[in-house]
Structure 1
């Protein structure tokens, strides 16, 4: 074949390749579009057999997401805060796994489900705190979907895979009001843990609550780092966090929060674990090198937790 003939045939080959590429792109686009169109409402929870079984007969395909959220709360939240039956804890676990196994990472939670799921996370604050802190091996061995809730300290507890819980918290935080209730509950629980440390505690008994708090708050900071440039989200979060009454351990941090602008909110949230530990340790009879060492550990732990999660 002559050089001239080769040049004449190349445009035809090029057009063929372009046509194939366009066809493939069109197929991918159609697949993505159809995938979106087939996305189940309410993040697929109403169609989940696990959710239908544990939440109850009120859950059915085609129900509104608002009604589904109400049903989840009624099935999982105890009459007394933090006190749950095995069935209630199981309902929460099934909802978490239905979300975790049926959604892509960083999924968008239906707006009507954000406040109800936040209410559930608040009612299970102790379990959520322990799972985010990663400090209790029981919550690791019992995290699988086939593991039942267990009874301890007069209530039933649940565990789920860490990433499933974190993805759920991240999704709930798409509503800053809903996230504020979760954060405020974790803050209150963190202060309770610090206040419960015996006066004569040393070693791990002295440092563990502060370290757990740093991991939890650092993780929450990382999970919500994607909103750091959202002015409206930051403003709403700050205003709702300020509605929580401060206590002796949080009063210093609350004053900083009140005096900060929404632009500086991320820094103030990042400093919460350190400020709380500083206020608490200042009331303890402890040698200054020990206190300074704890503060340094808390700061490092929060940073590590934040950087591990931050997108």
Structure 2
């Protein structure tokens, strides 16, 4: 199967990949399935019933599919068939905790389990995790998926929720690494997505780039950009929901430029909610902002290589 440009169709390449066939199994694999059917099948076998909840089998299927997609990009000129972009974005967003670790300041466990030969694993508390190598595997897939602004928004929204989750778990009297590590980790992952967005927009003509950014903004702010958005829940009852809703209001009011300061902004909202003040707050916010900008520049440079 070939696209109109003469490069291989990603759907055709993936249907022929034994890793994809194994992940789908006899119940779901069909050599004659359409691109849309392939995307739906991949999502069905990798994503659990609840966000972040998945079995070892689902996590291993996700890794196998992700690696197959990464390899397919060598044959397709880095492109994915449009019908695959959103379901693959939804697949990735279902692993938001793992995604943040790989895209952020990758801890040792994720580095050790990143190679293709290393399976998904279960930690001592029963949590299931999956990892792939960042630059050769995950980054090219996120970049290809993100040509669909809706798919990019799904991933960005997942990273926003994960950032809020990390902040919500912090104690108001935290100091040192306990105060700085969660916002630093989330800011680096968010910055990586900034770099992806910059690369996508840079490859588009000016008007189309603006349309992509507007579509992302509309997807991230359900009221369409300028409205107040949904009601903000009470922090003491739903800290994660509070932080996400506050962030959406910032984005609706300030536009896409505010995405580049998201990590520090969300940390500031947490500080306001729990009463953290002083120089320590300013230092952590500054580090988060610098980390997000640095990550964005590094990703943009990596994608330009």
Same fold (TM over 0.5): yes
In structure 1, the residue matched to 2:113 is 142
1:134 positional shift: 2.8
In structure 1, the residue matched to 2:73 is 103
TM-score (norm 1): 0.81
In structure 2, the residue matched to 1:188 is 161
Classify the secondary structure of the residue corresponding to 1:217.
helix
In 1, the alpha carbon distance for the partners of 2:272 and 2:10 equals: 51
Given that 1:180 and 1:240 are in contact with CA atoms closer than 8 Å, whether structure 2 keeps it comes out as yes
In structure 2, the residue matched to 1:220 is 193
Given that 1:84 and 1:156 are in contact with CA atoms closer than 8 Å, whether structure 2 keeps it comes out as yes
**Structure 2 stretches lacking a partner, 5+ long:** 223-228, 233-240
Identify which range, 66-75 or 150-159, moves more after superposition.
150-159
1:157 and 2:129 correspond: yes
CA 1:106–1:257 in 2, change beyond 3 Å: closer, same or farther?
farther
Superposed counterparts of 1:230-249, under 5 Å: 230-243=209-222, 245=230, 247-249=241-243
Compute the RMSD of aligned alpha carbons: 2.4
In structure 1, the residue matched to 2:248 is 254
1:282 positional shift: 2.8
Superposed counterparts of 1:13-24, under 5 Å: none
Given that 2:104 and 2:189 are in contact with CA atoms closer than 8 Å, whether structure 1 keeps it comes out as yes
Which protein has the larger Cα radius of gyration, Structure 1 or Structure 2? Answer: 1
Superposed counterparts of 1:65-80, under 5 Å: 65-80=35-50
TM-score (norm 2): 0.83
Deviation per CA, 1:65-120: give whole Å up to 9, x if none: 11111111111111232111111111110111112223239711111111111111
Identify which range, 175-184 or 152-161, moves more after superposition.
152-161
1:209 to 162, 168, 182: 182
Given that 2:120 and 2:128 are in contact with CA atoms closer than 8 Å, whether structure 1 keeps it comes out as yes
CA 1:113–1:126 in 2, change beyond 3 Å: closer, same or farther?
same
1:43 positional shift: 5.9
1:177 positional shift: 1.1
CA 1:232–1:43 in 2, change beyond 3 Å: closer, same or farther?
farther
1:45 and 2:39 correspond: no
1:250 positional shift: 4.2
Superposed counterparts of 1:46-61, under 5 Å: 46-57=15-26, 58-61=28-31
In 2, the alpha carbon distance for the partners of 1:200 and 1:150 equals: 33
Superposed counterparts of 1:78-93, under 5 Å: 78-93=48-63
Given that 1:106 and 1:167 are in contact with CA atoms closer than 8 Å, whether structure 2 keeps it comes out as no
**Structure 1 stretches lacking a partner, 5+ long:** 1-32
In 2, the alpha carbon distance for the partners of 1:206 and 1:227 equals: 33
1:287 positional shift: 5.3
Identify which range, 198-207 or 173-182, moves more after superposition.
198-207
